[in-house]
Amino acid sequence: MISLFQNSSPIYSWYFLEATTVLPLVVKVISPVSVRLPQTIIKLEASVEPSSRHVTYRWTYKKDGPVMPLIENMNTSDLLISNIRAGTYSFQLDVMDDSGNQQTKTVQLIATGDPIEARVTHSREIVFWPSNDVLLDGTSSIIEQQQQTHVFWTLLSNDNKQDANTIEIISPHSLKTRISNLRIGQYKFQLALVTNDKRYTSKAEVLVVVYSQNGQPPKISINLETKSVNILNNLIILNASKTTADYGIAKWQWAKSPLCPAIGHFINNSSSSPIAYVTNLIEGQYIFILQVLDDRQQMSEMNITVNVNGVPDAENLIELVFSSKSYLHQQTLDNLLAQIRVFLIDLLPNIHIIMVGMLHENVLLVKGKDFKTDLIISPKILVNHLQDKIKSLRSASNMNIISIDTYLCLSDCSNHGKCNQKTKRCICHSYYMENWFKSIVQREPNCDFVIHYFVIITSISSILSLIFCWFCTCCCLRWRRRYNLLERRKRIRYQLLDENDDEGAYDSTEKTKEKSRFFRRNKTKKSNIVISASDQSDENGEQTLYDKPLLTAKANMNSPKLRNRGLTVAVQDISNEVPEQPVLSPVSGCIFEKRLIVKYLHESSIDPVNGQPLTEEQLIDVK
């Protein structure tokens, strides 16, 4: 309660009531707990939630096991148990907090195995003569604490034919004992543990070796078990078990020379055993070094060289590359080989497909063989046949085959280069290059082309191509000009008027206007042919200058009317000169300047108006 005062009189007061909510007690244990004997100490653990709560623990054994175990820390969360045998044990845990909340749990312990185990500190003891005694230590053994465990040290064998009665075992019933009166040779002793009821027994052996003072270092002998090693047979077995040592062998150590390829490793920790296994090899020369250390720390060393060859019979193999998978099932492989034979049986009915090996996880090597003649079939023939059917082979074998090719590049590169075995492409010598057509169409790597000849031929071909294109363009343009000219003049005629025509000459003013109007509408290019000013069309579309009938070639060109009304106007409009030798074309009936038409006929030999054949001898002089 809190009160406020004014002039020593209380004004008001507050009352606070604290409500406390106690969370339930939660106990966590693991049950059942399984253990494998022998074990020195077994722990049972428990915990509570919330972990900050203060609680008390009490463990109780229900006495349902085969023996009475030793129990420690019965009032803590972790119970320690020892000295048990195989069977089932039940323990009760009571947990109580300060508020009086209590939880009870039962934990079962299931034990299997033997309760005792004989162990020695060193399984091999070394003694150098003239010393003749050794200490054998078995204190690391596991024994039963509550019940007596009997200990026995005994001599099993010796190789020097020494009388066993002369060998003294001091304290043979203790875990630690001393052996004396030993001679040069090997002795084998045994530590045996027996339970009091003789139900369980455990044994361990110790080898004692007594060496002389004049022993030699180890003599190493290495034998290569795998006679032929290649990329497919990717395993080297090195056997040095015939190595001898006067002081025994304490350590084996295999290693690769720094000069050999880095790829390749020992498997199953065989680098520290007398027989070494090496795999994951590549083509090349490997040098292996063996170091042997004896019990007197004397070391001997020996090297052995192993050559790892490439793929055998490589020139007869076919390489199939497919999408990578974790592994290839045998059923899938058999189906693939059967489908390959199906696609080749129309080429060679007696073919048999043999799997040689897997170069990588996605590269398969096979070869074809005629089972009647027992001859190997050329891989180039098979590859050329299969490459055309690769899509069908993918579908039939249910495998994503990426490529089919010979394993080796069998091309001689036209004797002007060397074929790359990985890319199957020719690396040409200087001044040579590949024939692309032969490489793409015939799938044959080559070095057929000489570079400077190729450059010259290519340059000449390019120039000839340009000339041909220019010639074709000129011909097209010329034909177009001729076609346009014929279209414009197909009806143009020069008409000679009769000298006795009553019509007078054109008024000079009218001729000037007509002439101006003509040049505005038809801006004709200058030509080497004399044409009439009648290129323009009249209202009816007729391209004629006069409406009189065409006169014969006997018309008098010196007539003033003719000169003023026809020829003079035409010539002046086009060539700006008076015709000196007018001639008449019998083919089109048109009149031309002789020197101009003759020059034109020498070039084309056709009438410029209608395109009909015309010669110089056919021209008729107009006088």
Q: What is the pLDDT of residue 192?
A: 96
Whether residues 519 and 615 share a domain: the answer is: yes
Whether residues 141 and 78 share a domain: the answer is: no
Among all chains, which residue has been given the structure tokens 């495998």?
399
Q: Are 149 and 126 in contact (CB under 8 A)?
A: no
Q: What is the pLDDT of residue 489?
A: 67
Other CB atoms within a 10 A radius of the CB of residue 270 amount to: 16
Average pLDDT, rounded, for the chain: 80
Residue that is last in its domain, among 253, 277, 308: 308
Tokens of 170: 């001091």
Residue that is last in its domain, among 166, 184, 211: 211
What CATH number should be reported for the domain holding residue 571? Answer: 3.30.40.10
For the cut 90, the answer to whether the pLDDT of residue 547 exceeds it is no
Strand-pair category, 124-128 with 201-211: parallel
Whether residues 98 and 151 share a domain: the answer is: no
**Amino acid in position 97:** D
Round to whole Å and give the CA distance between 133 and 153: 15
Q: What is the pLDDT of residue 490?
A: 61
Secondary structure element (H or E) that encloses residue 601, with its range: helix 594-604
What's the average model confidence in pLDDT over 370-397?
87
Secondary structure element (H or E) that encloses residue 519, with its range: helix 508-521
Residue 414 covered by a domain: no
In tens, the pLDDT along 571-605 reads 433 444 556 788 888 888 888 888 888 888 888 88
Q: Are 18 and 34 in contact (CB under 8 A)?
A: no
Round to whole Å and give the CA distance between 596 and 572: 15
Q: What is the pLDDT of residue 534?
A: 37
Whether residues 207 and 174 share a domain: the answer is: yes
Residue 345 covered by a domain: yes
Residue that is last in its domain, among 308, 325, 359: 308
Round to whole Å and give the CA distance between 294 and 142: 32
Beta strand ranges found along 312-448 (DSSP E): 318-322, 351-360, 363-370, 375-376, 401-406, 417-419, 426-428, 432-433
Whether residues 303 and 322 share a domain: the answer is: no
φ, ψ dihedrals at 357, nearest 5°: 165, 175
Whether residues 95 and 186 share a domain: the answer is: no
Q: What is the pLDDT of residue 498?
A: 39
Round to whole Å and give the CA distance between 597 and 588: 13
Number of domains into which the chain is organized: 5
Whether residues 134 and 191 share a domain: the answer is: yes
Instruction: With cut-offs at 50, 70 and 90, classify the pLDDT of residue 421.
Output: confident
What CATH number should be reported for the domain holding residue 379? Answer: 3.30.70.1510
In tens, the pLDDT along 197-249 reads 889 999 999 999 898 888 889 999 999 998 888 888 889 999 999 999 888 88
For the cut 80, the answer to whether the pLDDT of residue 19 exceeds it is no
Q: What is the pLDDT of residue 578?
A: 58
Whether residues 257 and 292 share a domain: the answer is: yes
What CATH number should be reported for the domain holding residue 203? Answer: 2.60.40.10
What's the average model confidence in pLDDT over 451-470?
87
Instruction: With cut-offs at 50, 70 and 90, classify the pLDDT of residue 374.
Output: confident
Residue 416 covered by a domain: no
Strand order in the sheet with 235-239: 223-224, 235-239, 275-279, 265-266
Q: What is the pLDDT of residue 513?
A: 52
Q: What is the pLDDT of residue 580?
A: 79
Other CB atoms within a 10 A radius of the CB of residue 436 amount to: 11
Q: What DSSP letter does each residue of 171-238 carry, written as one string?
A: STTSSEEEEES--SEEEEEEEEEEETTS--EEEEEEEEEEE-TTPPPPB---EES-S--BSSS-EEEE
Instruction: With cut-offs at 50, 70 and 90, classify the pLDDT of residue 329.
Output: confident
Q: What is the pLDDT of residue 109?
A: 94
Instruction: With cut-offs at 50, 70 and 90, classify the pLDDT of residue 436.
Output: confident
What's the DSSP call for residue 271? G
In which domain, by residue range, is 508 found?
490-621
